[in-house]
Amino acid sequence: MTKITGPFVAIVTPFDTDERVDVAALRRQVNRQASAGNGVFCAGTNGEFYALSSEEKIRVAEICVEAAQDRVPVLAHIGEIATSQTIALGKVVQRLGVNAVSVITPSFIPCSQAELIDHYRRVADALTIPIYIYNIPARTGNTVTPDTARALADHPNIVGVKDSAGSPESLDGFLAIARERPDFDVLVGPDSLVLQGLKDGAAGCISGLANVCPVTANGIHAAFLKANLELAESHQAHFSALRKELYALGFPPAMVKRALYHAMPEVGRSRAPVLIPEDVDIKIKEISRKYAEAVS
């Protein structure tokens, strides 16, 4: 496959007032991100995959591919709790024209490393599209260790990891594998670690905050490629400050979507049971005004 690099947005899934996927609004969000130069990662955590049906996940991926029009790559998340469900969803999604898929660790079931290896190998055996491991233990309760990732990297269909564990130590463990072998890449999940990851060899990032600040997200990567570290550090500082203020208020994906909502109401609210108290919403609106970039 063509190597996947650069900044990606973990794009929100817009909903109308009846909590149906708003196709037109999603197309506009894809266009907005593509115009900034960012790839699209759909139906992930910030896309509320946990609240989408299989049919909706397929439709979201289809819309994103159509709207991107080959201007930027599209990655789709397909992870489910059961291996069989993940494979079934992946077999449909891989036919839609996405560039690769990501597979989150199973949730609810406490998995051993042997079970995680078996899960990912079964999925990789069943699909023909490149696969990224998606490590986010705070949400799933299961952690992919560097040793497990190293074993999975031997599978020709497993091309890297999206690490959202949130710590430099976790990221360093995966980056060590990437330095050992050119066929395994790391995509940085935490917005606070984007530049550090790039300095240490990450291929790119998948950013939730890029929904609010697409130009800033792209700017970190673009400045880094031009060896303009002063500008890259400035963009990263802006990003990190936004992250600190916004994520202190509650569940990060809900905070991101609500901040974007205040700039672009058409994205709608997060699906129930998410509720944002009025006093928190006032603070989110202030943060949105402070950090949001010009929208079109």
Kindly list the catalytic residues: 134, 162
Cα 24–Cα 15–Cα 281 angle in degrees, nearest 5? 125
Yes or no: say if 260 and 288 are a contact pair by the CB < 8 Å rule: yes
Residue 218: both structure tokens together: 């792209």
Position 122: which residue type? R
Measured torsion, CA atoms of residues 279, 282, 287, 288, in degrees rounded to the nearest 10: 140
Strand, helix or coil at 207?
strand
CA distance 232 to 201: 15
Residue 43: both structure tokens together: 């139906």
